[in-house]
Structure 1
């Protein structure tokens, strides 16, 4: 069989694109390293992404409110769209504050989640130890985010993002190399 020829006669050639996947994985790993080594840049990027998401949501909500298909909740959509646009625009002017507000929202959510896990563990014996562990973990992580200063909380966010990107990039590199192995074995 020729290189990249399909093992099934009549099928199109097997093209895995493994090189692109490996390159993408390496790029994701580099972003993860950047996130771990420069928490301020990570916080800035997080703030900008949050601002862009709010702006896109705001435009979509306003368009929905103006459309003829929207009868119920028209004013609510319009108000929410305007608020999202204002919030997104203000975060664009101070992206680190936007990232901090996101960090604090996650911290608050973790504290509430931890309390709910602990209450559930106290009331029900099923999975009690796992719920206790998860509840305490959520409480500690939430407290770290809520009680630490701006720089440490952004650093914690950068560590989470960096680790996630490192493992995601490693997965992509291994996937690409696995696809390379598959494509070369079918070529033999």
Structure 2
């Protein structure tokens, strides 16, 4: 029972922090995007370092250890590049996200025809969803302000939803404990 009380408070605090983070993202979208850029840079550094160490330690057992080493060193290089100028990284993020959305949309569009061959009655939803994804990706990549707004808006909405859900969980746990 004591553990449930701790979990309840953690869920409530996490929910409040996430909602606060959502307000920050909506109030300071450029700073939020720079924060994401820094996070990506730190993540690439960490991944690159662990991959490099793994390749060196597994040299005798890993068949393609040189490729793993090269991938790790490239991740470290990109991590340093992203961290050296987070504002430039933040500015290029809409292009990367928009391109990813367009590629995903094309894949969804093509997959719809495979679904049609397999007899899926809702195959046409893939065509619509894929086409819309391509259009949204195009809009994001060709207007940096739209791209930044889209990315930060979805971040803020995601944080707000996660925060609300955590608060609801915290209150639901109170009724379970009582």
TM-score (norm 1): 0.82
Q: Are the counterparts in 2 of residues 26 and 173 from structure 1 also a CA contact under 8 Å?
A: yes
Query: Would the alpha carbon gap of residues 178 and 141 (structure 1) be closer, same or farther in structure 2, given more than 3 Å must change?
Result: same
- Superposition RMSD in Å: 2.0
SS across alignment from 2:101: helix
Query: Out of 22, 28, 31, which is 2:18 matched to?
Result: 28
In structure 1, list runs of 5 or more residues that go unmatched: 5-12
Equivalent residue pairs, number: 172
**Residue-by-residue CA offset, 1:97-135 (whole Å, 9 max, x unaligned):** 323444322211221222233334456263133112211
1:14 is displaced (CA, Å) by 6.0
Q: Are the counterparts in 2 of residues 14 and 183 from structure 1 also a CA contact under 8 Å?
A: no
What is the aligned partner in structure 2 of residue 61 from structure 1? 51
1:183 is displaced (CA, Å) by 1.1
Q: Are the counterparts in 1 of residues 44 and 76 from structure 2 also a CA contact under 8 Å?
A: yes
Q: Are the counterparts in 1 of residues 98 and 147 from structure 2 also a CA contact under 8 Å?
A: no
> Bigger radius of gyration, 1 or 2?
1
What is the aligned partner in structure 2 of residue 135 from structure 1? 130
More helix by share: 2
TM-score (norm 2): 0.86
SS across alignment from 1:105: helix
